[in-house]
A and B are shown apart, each in its own frame.
Chain A
Amino acid sequence: MNKYDKIRELKAYEKNDIFIYVFLLILIISLFLFCVILPGTKKAEGFAVYYDGEKVFALSYSAPEDYIITEGFENYFEVSLSENRITFLFPPDKSEYNIITFDSEKKSVKVTESNCSVSPDCVYSPEIRNGGAIICAPHRLKIAPLQDDGYYPPVTG
């Protein structure tokens, strides 16, 4: 029997498959344990937008109108807030954009529209609440939840 015949004789299931499935089960349980359960997540009080790894924008669900744009980026992006939608327009000609929609009651945030690519993964990403992140790779953006120690409202008065 040559190699080609052996390949054709391969079966869908064999008795040693159980070892592979047990190994994968242990792997998946370990991933749940070390990536989800043990780290835990604090309640998010807002969300932040990062550009090239640098925080450029932060918003609190309790006071969305008091959003903060990091010093130095005030003129880099054009940001507009309308009800529960934030629109980011990118330089140089402000033709690239991401629209971020948030829910102050559910404390969740999602990218609802973007012209980053033909198949925008950032728009297809599920909404994030206390953990995870939304990445828009073509626009180099990351949206991540902010826990209670990550947001500082502007000093007033």
Chain B
Amino acid sequence: MKRFTFRAAVCGVMSAISLIAFTLENLLPPLIIPGARLGLSNIFILLTALLVGGAYGYAALAVKTLIGSIIIGNFSAVLYSLPAGIIALTLELTAILYFRNVGIIAASVLGSVINITVQNAVFCLVTKTTEYFIYSPYLALIGAFTGAIVGLIVHITLKKIPYGFLGLNQ
């Protein structure tokens, strides 16, 4: 029970930080093409999933997407952000934890590219805006770039966290 409480608390804090990052990056202009963001909130989602467990990672993702969409005033974004985020996180965790010899950066790039591609595809289908498909490859390239940055930051963070910090090793 104590372990669950501790992990839930860590998940809550990481969700809050992820939400702040999501809100802030939505205040900034998009990266060249609308819909392309830095994805800094994904740093905390991935860290949550790796440090306290996959279920908590999905919980943080749901909190960030649902509440973040309300804060930025675009609740319909949940339709395409949440499924894309779930698919991306699943692929990242599968690559890191179950496939041998896969680095964090490559897994993050994979998740980021799939995330942004699926988001764009669902957006085009839901809003019946097939003209937006033309941006898919450019969004994928931007996703690869931002995914590499996210992966690098997660890797550095994991290395810098002191061993036994907050009792995470228990």
Given the interface contacts A35-B134, A144-B131, does A8 sit within 8 Å of B163 by beta carbon?
A: yes
Interface stretch (choices B8-16, B59-67, B81-89, B152-160):
B152-160
A20/B26 in contact, CB under 8 A: no
Q: B7 to chain A: closest CB distance in Å?
A: 12
Note all chain B residues with C-beta closer than 8 A to A39: 134
B28/A36 in contact, CB under 8 A: no
Q: How many A-B residue pairs have CB under 8 A?
A: 120
Note all chain A residues with C-beta closer than 8 A to B110: 20, 23-24
Q: Which of B104, B109, B129, B134 contacts A11 (CB 8 A)?
A: B104
Whether a CB of chain A sits under 8 angstroms from the CB of B106 is yes
Whether a CB of chain A sits under 8 angstroms from the CB of B70 is no
Whether a CB of chain B sits under 8 angstroms from the CB of A14 is yes
B113/A27 in contact, CB under 8 A: yes
B28/A133 in contact, CB under 8 A: no
Given the interface contacts A12-B155, A117-B73, A133-B132, does A17 sit within 8 Å of B103 by beta carbon?
A: yes
User: In the docked arrangement, what's the CA distance between A14 and B123, Å?
Assistant: 34
A20/B152 in contact, CB under 8 A: no
List chain A positions with a Cβ less than 8 A from chain B: 2, 4-5, 7-8, 10-17, 20-21, 23-24, 27-28, 31-32, 35-36, 39, 41, 53, 117-119, 121-122, 124-126, 131-133, 135, 137-138, 142, 144
Q: List 22 A-B contacts (CB under 8 A).
A: A5-B169, A8-B159, A8-B163, A10-B103, A10-B158, A12-B155, A14-B106, A16-B102, A20-B95, A24-B140, A24-B144, A27-B117, A28-B140, A35-B134, A35-B136, A39-B134, A118-B73, A119-B29, A121-B30, A121-B34, A124-B34, A126-B33
In the A-B complex, the 7 residue pairs with the closest CB atoms: A133-B131, A17-B106, A31-B137, A14-B101, A121-B34, A16-B101, A14-B103
